[in-house]
Amino acid sequence: MRIFLIRHGQTDGNKKELIQGWLDMGLNATGIKQAKLLAKRLKNEKIDVFYSSDLKRAVLTTEEIKKYHPGKPWIKTPLLRERKFGLFEGIEIKKYYEVIKSYNIESYEFRPPFGESYSDVLKRAVNFFKQIYWKHKNQSVVVVAHGTFNRIFISYLLGISFKESMKIEQENTCLNIIDIGSKPRLIALNDFSHLNSN
């Protein structure tokens, strides 16, 4: 199995450096352009099935890629949603980290009120992987999700700690490619070179 793991295109929330979580923001003009450039990059890849978060920013990104792969199945699922930040959704990322600092714990350990910790998101990621592995063992799967979800998913597949996973950058429309054989093999990480093309 080959997994093309993608982060959605830019939103106004990304531009303003806000915590989005489950807030349902669409792509801005830059995000749409990014998604189109990514779609061109993937147009000649063999893709058997699409999975995306059901949040607008992931759905709109997937729509652009799928234009080059008509007729392929596409499943939208809440399992791929971003980490839920509860009461902190909509605030500046900088302010969120100031709050965590006052608790004197790592951000991956923190569970925001009405939100999720890294461990909560990991449960969703594991559930999702088990579902797709048995259905698409010998296929190529596009997965369009979100920054924090992607970090946690990658950490699960590669067997690295939450602390290590926090160092993984995930730019808008970045591409991560993971081959799942006898053991997972990372082919590309946070690759957004397509954004440099016209």
Ranges of residues in the chain whose predicted pLDDT is under 70? 198
Q: What is the pLDDT of residue 139?
A: 97
Angstrom CA distances, 128 to 19, 29, 32, 83, stand at 24, 30, 27, 14
pLDDT for 198: 60
CATH number reported for the structural domain that contains residue 165 in this entry: 3.40.50.1240
Q: What is the pLDDT of residue 42?
A: 98
Its domain, for residue 191, covers 2-196
Helix axes 29-42, 56-66, angle to 10 degrees: 40
Question: How many structural domains compose the chain?
Answer: 1
pLDDT, residue 73, reads 98
Contact 128, 80 (CB under 8 A): yes
Tell me which residue of 169, 75, 79 sits closest to 120, measured CA to CA: 79
Q: What pLDDT, on the 0 to 100 scale, is given for residue 71?
A: 94
Q: Say what the pTM is.
A: 0.95
User: Which residues are designated catalytic?
Assistant: 8, 82
